[in-house]
Amino acid sequence: MSRLLCLIVLSLGLMQTATADETNDRMSAYLTQKFGLAKEKAQKISDAVESAASKYSLPPALLLAIISIESRFKEKAKGANGATGLMQVVPGAHRGLLRNVRDLTEPTTNIDVGSAILYGYMRSANGDMNAALKSYGGSQAYAKKVSLRVEDFTDVAGPQDVASRPDAQASMCEADRCAAPDNWADAFAIPAGNAAGVNGAAASQSTSPATPH
């Protein structure tokens, strides 16, 4: 019986791995076709998105939507206030989070940092993704734009999770299932009026309302 159970668990694990690989392949192929990325670069971005999505409990389609809006998948993209890379991270707004980062234009690093920032905003908003996206992009219009763009990626990045809908009101960060990853938990300052409600983590304030991320 014990041996049978082990075989079942192993089979389920292999099925999940195969499904993840298929999703990753679909994402990579879509980025190559839609955005003209080289296969190697598309694969690297897909891998980074999958990794960050798993690490920070964010839907891959949401991260892809943000990247497409922020940089159209151009890893060397530069914006206002020093916004850098695929997710247009503003170094001056997140110095604590970037203290060990050497190259913010590197795709894996940039996607991990951008995802951590979004996750921090979501925790600050007690799981309200709409509020998190407003903080990340600086406006309700930005949150709505991301919401619409997510639909472009749901077929290639899996079904749309409730967390990827900016209008979702359900809390995604209950204290017992949304613990902060250790590598960024101390990188954000808790806003003065919100310390009691964010379970010990919050996103830092932006240096510019136009490009808060």
Residue range 130-153, pLDDT digits in tens:
999 999 999 999 999 999 999 999
Q: What is the DSSP string of the chain?
A: -HHHHHHHHHHHHHHHHHHHHHHHHHHHHHHHHHH---HHHHHHHHHHHHHHHHHHT--HHHHHHHHHHHTTT-TT-B-GGG-BTTTTB-GGG-TTTTTT-S-TTSHHHHHHHHHHHHHHHHHHTTT-HHHHHHHHHSSHHHHHHHHHHHHHHHHHH-SPPGGG-TT--S-S--TTT-PPPTTTTTSSPPPTTTGGGTTT--PPPPS-TTS--
- Gap between the Cα atoms of 151 and 9, Å rounded: 33
CATH fold of 2-197: Lysozyme (1.10.530)
What's the confidence (pLDDT) of residue 197?
A: 26
CA 72 to chain centre: 15
Q: Which residue has the higher pLDDT, 184 or 138?
A: 138
What's the confidence (pLDDT) of residue 156?
A: 86
- Which of 1, 51, 57, 47 has the alpha carbon at shortest distance from 25? 47
Q: What are phi and psi of 57, to 5 degrees?
A: 55, 45
What would the pLDDT profile of 31-47 be if each residue is shown by its tens digit? 999 999 999 999 999 99
Q: In the block, which residue shows the tokens 């639909």? A: 151
Mean pLDDT of the 44-58 span: 95
**How far are the Cα atoms of 8, 42, 74, 80 from residue 49, in angstroms, in the given order?**
29, 11, 14, 24
Can you say whether the dihedral through the CA atoms of 192, 194, 199, 202 is positive or negative?
negative
What would the pLDDT profile of 59-104 be if each residue is shown by its tens digit? 999 999 999 999 999 999 999 999 999 999 999 889 888 988 999 9
Write down the pTM of the prediction: 0.70
Q: In the block, which residue shows the tokens 């879509």? A: 30
Q: CB neighbours (10 Å) of residue 98?
A: 18
Across 14-18, 159-163, 189-193, 207-211, which has the greatest mean pLDDT? Answer: 159-163
- Gap between the Cα atoms of 77 and 100, Å rounded: 21
